[in-house]
Amino acid sequence: MSHLFTQLKQLKLTTTLLINSAFILVCSQLSGCNQASAYQLNDNNQTAQQAIPKTVVQNVQRTFQAKFVYGDWRFSETRVIKNSINAFIQIPDKLNMSKEQQQNYISQMICPAKHNSDFWQQVAPHELWVHLYTHDKRYSVYSKCDNPYA
């Protein structure tokens, strides 16, 4: 009887271990999926480009190009991803801040100023995201800019 009890206990431990391992695997995969979706172009990129006027995307690009002319930080490109505008800025080294602090920094310091009403009115129907990355855009830290006219 005690042998049967020991086997049941081992089976329960094994089952618990498998469930916990599966949970960790699923969580890490979801995190990777979320990160990956932040940089992948929409499969239907043609539709996304048509939904956001080219002039709006070009205006966002000009705004960020002008902001990052001097210094080590470089504006890389503007992409339309899932019907939102995404600005990518390459930085030489990772910032010595937590992810949340970096996101707050992007929102407060890098996103265009709220008083820039012409810019925000033009962008208003669409989301604007700013991404900071060092070497690979897939591993960017990004934040959505708050649009006062949205």
In a domain, 79, yes or no: yes
Domains of the chain: total: 2
**Domain shared by 7 and 72, yes or no:** no
Nearest to 106 by CA among 92, 116, 91: 91
142: enclosing H helix or E strand: strand 141-144
In a domain, 87, yes or no: yes
**Domain shared by 74 and 136, yes or no:** yes
pLDDT the model gives residue 51: 81
In a domain, 150, yes or no: no
Q: Distance (Å, rounded) from C-alpha 126 to C-alpha 119?
A: 12
Q: Exposed (0-12), middle (13-18) or buried (19+): which is 80, by Cβ within 10 Å?
A: buried
Q: Distance (Å, rounded) from C-alpha 136 to C-alpha 6?
A: 51
**Domain shared by 59 and 18, yes or no:** no
Say how many Å lie between the first and final Cα of the chain, rounded: 69
**Domain shared by 56 and 123, yes or no:** yes
143: enclosing H helix or E strand: strand 141-144
In a domain, 149, yes or no: no
Residue 18: C-alpha distances to residues 28, 41, 43, 80, 150 (Å): 15, 35, 35, 41, 46
In a domain, 5, yes or no: yes
Q: How confident is the model over 77-90, as pLDDT tens digits?
A: 999 999 999 999 99
Q: How confident is the model over 91-106, as pLDDT tens digits?
A: 999 999 999 999 999 9
Structural domain of 51: 45-144
Q: How confident is the model over 103-131, as pLDDT tens digits?
A: 999 999 999 999 999 999 999 989 999 99
Check which CATH number belongs to the domain holding 61 and give it: 3.30.300
For residues 134-143, average pLDDT: 96
In a domain, 69, yes or no: yes
**Three-state secondary structure call for residue 38:** coil
pTM over 0.85: no
pLDDT the model gives residue 47: 43
**Domain shared by 2 and 67, yes or no:** no
Name the residue with tokens 């390459």. 90
133: enclosing H helix or E strand: strand 128-133
**Domain shared by 26 and 51, yes or no:** no
Q: What percent of the chain has pLDDT over 70?
A: 67
DSSP line for 75-111:
EEEEEEETTEEEEEEE-SS--SS-HHHHHHHIIIIIS
